[in-house]
Structure 1
């Protein structure tokens, strides 16, 4: 019989834009005994998780719960549930994940209209507003934090134009929830999708979402059609179609998360433990304090990068606080640098995609990975590796510059 060694993953310092290191308290929570999904103890945990998600999404929405699956399952669940065949969908694209929203929307049968911005910048909200008024979409889908380019899209003011056009506003906040302000109610967002494996420091496997009564109204109408409950002219309206997924049907998922607990799937018990503990830790730290911690580590990292003489990629006015993109110096093999960082120091940073592949490195400062220790280690290791690769820089300057930031606080 073939022998398989014991599982023993090597320790890593993960400084990518996701996944990131998981808080040990979350890992501990995942070791607890399994409960049945309708055990009162477990349904109480479900209710607590919903309540904490409302706080983290900064919303009073009735519906805030996780979809079982990685972040993309949440994006698909929201889009497949809200987009009907023939709906016009507007997607502003300023990086890789805008293209993902386009692909999923097309699979839902949407007529997709796109706006495109050069990678490394974002849209002025008024550009999106003008497009909403011109194209009159049924739904606007936008990425809040685009990790492929390290940019943060401003969202204020867009919801007003959506309401004028009777359009729903859907936001992909996978990379920002728990590390950057995501104010669902204040910004008038109809549906928001988060991720666990980034700023929440929970393993990939759940996709927290929230949506308001405007989004729910569309879900419920589609649900009534599916069950043959519409009458007369309303039932003949060709604009409405039943939701094309069972597993990702939000109208069924919300029944499962409602007090009725209508059976839909077997809940991922251990992952719910993890999410609940991760959310508890976010709220224990405090949202504003957590946002401030992420900004501090960003400032220290950027100071160190600049002290090495490296260039930052993209428009600084729209930089994500939790992702820093660095231009790879001329003559330096970016993948060789990443390989040495991982092999000799156990530190992982990321490359990028599409037109940026081979042009930039991306360093994430997210959640549990977002710490003074990790920033200083990463700067020191990157400096050492670059010197090994023949890059001319002042040894020690990067760590000292970061330490100056920490001293100032």
Structure 2
């Protein structure tokens, strides 16, 4: 009989746009004993998690909870629960994940209208507002931080116009939540979907989200109770309201809402250890403080940018639209990008990312998210990248990259002294 070795993952410094390194406190939380999903001790943990998510999303929304599944499950849950066949949906695309929102909306039977910006740029909010005015969609779905291009889209003006026009505004904040400001209420976003495996430094496996009363009204109009749970007296609102039933059972927010409500109407078996992990990750975030956390991510992102420029490398994308937690670097002519990534991994234990679609083979992406976003990691990756490029024959001013990053940190220390 074949015998398998004990699990022994190699040590890594993960500097990708996700997943990232997990805080040891989160790993410890995942080791605690399992509780039953209706045990009052466990439902108390569910309620505490909802409270902390309200602080994360900076919202007064009643509904803030995670969907069990990776980040994409949250995107699909919101879109499949809100979009009915024939609904007109506008998706502004400026990278890979705008295309993903488009595909999900198409699979929901929507009439999807897209507008596109060149990869490496974002939209002037007025461009999106003009498209809303022209096409009159029922819903606008947009990415906040596009990790494929390292760009971040301004949202406030778009959210305000959507509210004025009675259009639902749905935002993919998977890459930004917990790392840069995301203000659900102030920006008048109707539904925000996040992820655990990026700036929250929790393993992939949950998709925290929030939505407001405007979304809830749509959910209740489409609500149906699972047959095995339904009593004879319970009617089906979707059957009498003229709305279609939500096409997914597992990703049905109307049912998930009941599961997270005081009624605790059974839906699925909660991912207990993942909830422990999310709760601890949120505790760590709130102990640090949102503003301090945003400042840490901004500083480390600025240090990477300075270090990359100090090496004489070119950054990809519009400087004014730069996503602070992902730095995109143009691969120099004549340099084998995958060979550089392999050497970083094999000789230094550092993982950075390539990109997708039209940018595949053209850029590297360095993430600085969550627990991975530290001064130590930034200096490590810059020093290793410099050494690797020199070994690949790229001419650069040796030592200048790390010095440029240290200058960023020194300026911060001077300000705080």
- 1:278 aligned to which of 281, 290, 298: 281
Does the alignment pair 1:208 with 2:208?
Answer: yes
SS at match of 1:157: helix
C-alpha distance in 2 between matches for 1:51 and 1:303: 38
* Residue 159 of structure 1: aligned partner: 159
The answer to whether the 8 A contact 1:52-1:280 is kept is yes
* Residue 146 of structure 2: aligned partner: 146
The answer to whether the 8 A contact 2:67-2:209 is kept is yes
Does the alignment pair 1:361 with 2:367?
Answer: no
SS at match of 2:298: helix
* Residue 72 of structure 1: aligned partner: 72
* Residue 63 of structure 2: aligned partner: 63
* Residue 298 of structure 1: aligned partner: 301
State the Cα distance separating 1:331 from its structure 2 match.
0.4
RMSD between superposed Cα atoms in Å: 1.3
Deviations 1:298-327 (A, max 9, x none): 111111100100000000000000000000
* Residue 402 of structure 1: aligned partner: 405
SS at match of 2:270: coil
Deviations 1:206-231 (A, max 9, x none): 00000000000000011169975459
Counterpart mapping for 1:3-402 below 5 A: 3-223=3-223, 229-230=236-237, 235=240, 237=242, 240-402=243-405
The answer to whether the 8 A contact 1:86-1:110 is kept is yes
State the Cα distance separating 1:394 from its structure 2 match.
1.4
SS at match of 1:223: coil
C-alpha distance in 2 between matches for 1:329 and 1:163: 45
The answer to whether the 8 A contact 1:325-1:362 is kept is yes
C-alpha distance in 2 between matches for 1:161 and 1:285: 33
The answer to whether the 8 A contact 2:160-2:187 is kept is no
Q: 1:236 to 1:293 in 2, by over 3 A?
A: closer
Q: 1:17 to 1:230 in 2, by over 3 A?
A: closer
Q: 1:280 to 1:225 in 2, by over 3 A?
A: closer
C-alpha distance in 1 between matches for 2:219 and 2:287: 34
State the Cα distance separating 1:161 from its structure 2 match.
2.2
Structure 2: where are the runs of 5+ without partners?
227-233, 413-417
The answer to whether the 8 A contact 2:223-2:237 is kept is no
For these two proteins, the number of residue pairs brought into alignment is 405
C-alpha distance in 1 between matches for 2:35 and 2:360: 45
SS at match of 1:161: helix
State the Cα distance separating 1:164 from its structure 2 match.
3.4
C-alpha distance in 2 between matches for 1:44 and 1:53: 14
Deviations 1:241-278 (A, max 9, x none): 11001100000001000011111000000000000000
Deviations 1:358-404 (A, max 9, x none): 10000000000000000000000000000000000111111111111
The answer to whether the 8 A contact 1:324-1:362 is kept is yes
Deviations 1:46-101 (A, max 9, x none): 00000000000000000000000000000000000000011000000000000000
When normalised by structure 1's length, the TM-score is 0.97
Q: 1:401 to 1:83 in 2, by over 3 A?
A: same
C-alpha distance in 1 between matches for 2:146 and 2:38: 38
SS at match of 2:223: helix
SS at match of 1:200: coil
The answer to whether the 8 A contact 1:178-1:287 is kept is yes
State the Cα distance separating 1:163 from its structure 2 match.
2.5
State the Cα distance separating 1:287 from its structure 2 match.
0.3
C-alpha distance in 2 between matches for 1:386 and 1:230: 62
When normalised by structure 2's length, the TM-score is 0.95
C-alpha distance in 2 between matches for 1:67 and 1:166: 26
